Amino acid sequence: MPAEGQSRAAWLTPKWLTVVGIGEDGVAGLGDEAKRLIAEAEFVFGGTRHLALVASLAKGEARAWPTPFDTEMRDVLALAGRRVCVLASGDPFFHGVGVTLARKVAVESMLVIPAPSAMSLAAARLGWALQDIETISLHGRPLDLIRPLLHPGSRILALTSDGDAPAAVARLLTEVGLGASRLTILEALGGPNERLRPVRADVFDLEKINPLNVLAIEVESISEARILPLASGLADHLFEHDGQITKREIRAITLSALAPRRGELLWDIGAGSGSIGIEWMLAHPSMRAIAVEADPARAARIRRNASNCGVPGLAVVEGSAPQALVGLETPDAIFIGGGGSDLGVLDAAIGVLPANRRLVANAVTLEMESLLLSRHASLGGDLTRIAISRASPVGSMQAWRPAMPVTQWSWVKP
């Protein structure tokens, strides 16, 4: 601990890099320690706007970020050991440059002084409890990412990229039946030009929106709205498909067998509509999936489904397995759909799967079932027979119509 009368900065002198969060109020919103560290820095990095805000304070060489932005931080790293200050918007570790720097610089070499994030400021203006709402960054990211959060009654704070994004989100809300949702655009929070403007999504008419904005959404729904439930086994009609889809009940059982864990990568081989990979990714924002599909029309359909279900990051590989599997990132889990019968695909999947990772294969054909029975006999695992029947009209009455039964083999590689 620092001695009495010794500043925290002096105690942390080995820290050559200072990261200072700054708001729209510029120098006026900084504490004494942040002001001193900026003034003492030999080099000050930041966006053109940030550098202008501290121009009266900074004495060192000002360096604006290059275009395009260098995520490798070469210019900063080249000055390791010198007194370097990096300016960031608000909280540097909330979708900020601090996250990028922490991947390159040891935390022992950094001193970070955060300011309130845009989300904190927005919640304070609206009187919303941050722990009770959804927050998402759409800055430089697809707007479709907001779709899984769109539930009736939910409150969302979305950090956007520019002045056009709020109108685009309003159009998306209206298209999916959520046009009655209440929006508030919070512009230039914390600065002299701060402004809050409310509007309904389906009558959005605001203009000249400051590119530095947070979009607050209070979701209102109609009965026909397109809502993505939280449970596995989304309704089949939520996916565009040509019949090549793992039906919802089978899909729910399959996702349970695949047992998604945070940060994992799934291979969905013979992806069809992409429903398995999409629901895998919906389980958590950290989830990733690669859909392998030989048919170009289906591959295009998978991409549309992924965007419409809020997981535009689903990777689609066009090609036939097992050849299309060569060079792909090693998976944590593999799913093989029910229509195949290629021994090479199954054995290639078994071969590439790391130890203690999971494989699930579904069979609806006798040929594929035979392969699964053989692999179960030699490798073990679990076999499950899944039979689903649905009531449908028979004349003026109802009767059960059985769907094709599915044999499922699930296996953890030793």
pLDDT (0 to 100) of residue 244 = 86
pLDDT tens digits for 60-92?
999 999 999 999 999 999 999 999 999 999 999
Residue 226 belongs to a domain: no
Those residues whose C-beta lies under 8 Å from the C-beta of residue 3, and which sit 6 or more positions away, are none
pLDDT average, residue stretch 137-141: 93
Q: For the domain that residue 52 is a member of, what is the CATH number? A: 3.40.1010.10
5, pLDDT greater than 50: no
Is residue 23 located within the same domain as residue 91? yes
- 203-253 per-position pLDDT tens digit: 999 999 999 999 999 999 988 899 999 999 999 999 999 988 999 999 999
Question: In this model, does residue 161 exceed pLDDT 90?
Answer: no
* Domain total in the chain: 3
Q: Count CA atoms within 13 Å of residue 279 on its CB side.
A: 29
274, 145: one domain: no
How far apart CA 304 and CA 294 sit, in angstroms, is 16
Angle subtended by helix axes 366-379 and 343-352, to nearest 10: 40
Do both 348 and 265 map to the same domain?
yes
* 326-376 pLDDT, tens digit each: 999 999 999 998 666 677 899 999 999 999 999 999 999 999 999 999 999
CA atoms within 13 A on the CB side of 221: 14
Question: Is the separation of the CB atoms in 20 and 84 below 8 Å?
Answer: no
Residue 13 has pLDDT above 60, yes or no: no
**Same-domain pairing of 143 and 61:** no
Give me the pLDDT at residue 340, please: 62
How many other C-beta atoms are found inside a 10 Å radius of the C-beta of residue 309? 23
Q: Is residue 202 part of a domain?
A: yes
Residue 11 has pLDDT above 60, yes or no: no
pLDDT at 12 over 80: no
- Structure tokens given for 155: 């409150």
pLDDT tens for 254-299 read 999 999 999 999 999 999 999 999 999 999 999 999 999 999 999 9
Q: Are residues 168 and 55 part of one domain?
A: no
pLDDT of residue 343: 76
pLDDT of 4 over the 50 cut: no
CB burial readout 298-308, b (16+ within 10 A) else e: bbebbeebbbb
Q: Which of 189, 218, 247 is the last residue of a domain?
A: 218
Residue 315: domain span: 236-412
